[in-house]
Structure 1
Amino acid sequence: MADDPYVIEPGSYKTEGFHMYEVGQAFAKAAKELSTGLEALEKGDTPPWGDDEFGENFGVPYEGLRKGFDEAMPSLAERIAGIGVAFSQIGIRNEKQEQKEHDTYQQITGQYDGQVGAKVSSIKSV
C-alpha cells in the first residue's frame, strides 16, 4: 500500500549480511576444492578424457573453460562476501542513525517538558 511506511530492520540487514558473507566464504572454499580435485585428475601423461579424437575435441574447450573458472570463481566468491559485508554495514549505519534521531528527539522534547500541560517525554518516537 502507498500509505505503508518503509521499514528497515537493522538486525535483519546485519544477520543476513553475515549469512551472505558466510556464503561467499563457503563458495570460495568449494571452488578451491573443485579446482584442486580437477588438478589431481589432470595429472599424468594422458588426460582423463583420453587423447583420441573425442578427447581432443573435449580437451581444447575444457582447458579454456577451466582457466576461466580458476580466474573467475575466487572473484565471484569475494564479491558475494562483499555484498554480505555491505548489508551488515547498512544495518549498523541505520542503527546509529536511528539512535541519533532518538537522542535528538529526546533533547528537543526535554526542553518543553511540563510547558504544555503534559509531559512530552511520554510521547513515543515511531
Structure 2
Amino acid sequence: MQTSTTTGDVMGGAGGFQTDTESLKAEGTSFVKLGEDFQNSVKRLMDGLSALGAGPPGTPPAGGQKEPDKSFGEQFTSGLTSFASKADMPPWGDDEIGEKFGVVYEGVRDGMYESMGHLSSKLQEIGKALTSMSKNYAESEDFSESLIKQHVPNPQAGGSDKLVSRLEGPRPH
C-alpha cells in the first residue's frame, strides 16, 4: 500500500499536513477485492476437499438441499462394481491409523477454515476502513482549507482589512 503524506508550507504557514486521499481510497478498494478473492479461494479449497470426501463443502448446495439419496437398487449395483461400501468413509480409512490421522486432520482443517474465513473478513474490513478514512481526511482537509482562507479582521493591526498573520497564546500575568 502506498500513501503519501507531506509536511510543509500551507498557505504560507509552517507545519502543514496533507494526506493523499485518492491513494487511501484506491488501496481501500484493493483490500476489499483482496478479501473477496481470498474468500472465493477458500470456498474453492473447501469444495475441492469436500469432493474428495475430506470435509464439508464451502458452497452450500443450490436451494439449501442435499443430494438425493440413492435407491437400494442403485446402491447395490454400485456396490458390486466399485468400492461404494466405503463411500461414506473418509479417504484415509477407518482403521486405527486412519482414525488417528482423521482426528488430527479434521482439527487442523477446521481451524484453518475458521482462521481463513476470519482473515478474509478482516481484509475486507481494513479496505472499508481505508475508504472511509480517505473520505474523512478529504472532508477534514476541505474544512481546514476553508477556515484558513477566511478573511478575519484584525483590529490590532491598525485596519479592518488586515489578516491575522500570527496567533499568540495568553500572556502571563
**Structure 2 residue corresponding to 1:30, chosen from 23, 41, 46:** 41
**Structure 2 residue corresponding to 1:10, chosen from 21, 32, 50:** 21
Cα RMSD of the aligned pairs, angstroms, is 2.6
Cα distance per residue 1:88-113 (max 9 Å; x no partner)? 1111110001110111122236x68x
Once the 2 structures are TM-superposed, how far is the Cα of residue 59 of structure 1 from its aligned partner?
1.6
Residue segments in structure 2 that go unaligned for 5+ positions in a row: 1-5, 8-16, 55-86, 155-160, 164-173
Once the 2 structures are TM-superposed, how far is the Cα of residue 12 of structure 1 from its aligned partner?
0.9
Q: Does 1:76 align with 2:144?
A: no
Once the 2 structures are TM-superposed, how far is the Cα of residue 73 of structure 1 from its aligned partner?
2.1
Cα distance per residue 1:21-41 (max 9 Å; x no partner)? 110011111111111111111
In structure 1, how many angstroms separate the alpha carbons of the residues matched to 2:139 and 2:99? 60
Stretch of structure 1 that moved more, 80-89 or 34-43? 34-43
User: TM-score, normalized by length of structure 1?
Assistant: 0.73
Specify the code of the residue in structure 1 equivalent to 2:136: R
Specify the code of the residue in structure 2 equivalent to 1:27: F
Paired residues in the alignment total 112
Aligned to 2:142: 99
User: TM-score, normalized by length of structure 2?
Assistant: 0.55
In structure 1, how many angstroms separate the alpha carbons of the residues matched to 2:18 and 2:142? 15
**Structure 1 residue corresponding to 2:31, chosen from 20, 28, 31:** 20
Once the 2 structures are TM-superposed, how far is the Cα of residue 83 of structure 1 from its aligned partner?
0.5
SS in 2 for 1:45: coil
Pick 1 or 2: higher relative contact order, CA cutoff 8 A, min separation 6: 1
Aligned to 2:89: 46
Once the 2 structures are TM-superposed, how far is the Cα of residue 53 of structure 1 from its aligned partner?
4.8
